[in-house]
Amino acid sequence: MSHTPVRSANLPAPAGPYSPGMGFDRLIFVSGQGGVDPSTGTIADDVEQQTEQCLRNVQTILEAAGSSLQHVLRCGVFLIDMGEFKKMNGVYARMFGDHRPARTTVQVAGLPGDGMCIEIDAIAYKP
């Protein structure tokens, strides 16, 4: 078995020497995605808009690998302020619909990117 980087022209450039996603057999490992809009390079001011953009970026990577949000097994959510949990959770629930992947949510001291208040990573599979 081999692993393959997942790339998409519709994503912001990674902030370091890593791939946005890595496929291995039918699994897809998505690196942490911030709320940067790839078409403008900007980041929204609030956690709700950033959460939606994070998940859109995750979705773009998954689709490039032949998957979707409905095939996510696990997410990691990294928040600057746990006081924003309820707002993040509302957007997260809307984006995933009835699908409920396993999840860990932690508060972190900082994230790479000015104004970034959330980052989300994921593990999914190709159906």
**Does residue 113 carry a pLDDT above 90?**
no
70-104 pLDDT, tens digit per residue, is: 999 999 999 999 999 999 999 999 999 999 999 99
State CA 48 to chain mean position distance. 14
d(CA 18, CA 94): 29
Tell me if 11 is assigned to some domain: no
Tell me if 56 is assigned to some domain: yes
Tell me if 5 is assigned to some domain: no
SS3 of the chain: the string is CCEEEECCCCCCCCCCCCCCEEEECCEEEEEEECCECCCCCCECCCHHHHHHHHHHHHHHHHHHCCCCHHHEEEEEEEECCHHHHHHHHHHHHHHHCCCCCEEEEEECCCCCCCCCCEEEEEEEECC
Tell me if 67 is assigned to some domain: yes
Tell me if 1 is assigned to some domain: no
37-53 pLDDT, tens digit per residue, is: 999 989 999 999 999 99
**Does residue 55 carry a pLDDT above 80?**
yes
Tell me if 50 is assigned to some domain: yes
Tokens (6 digits) for 32: 């942490």
Residue 59's CATH number: 3.30.1330.40
Tell me if 72 is assigned to some domain: yes
Tell me if 13 is assigned to some domain: no
Give the chain's domain count.
1
Q: What is the CB-side half-sphere exposure of residue 96 using CA atoms within 13 A?
A: 22
Expressed as residue numbers, the domain containing 62 is 21-125
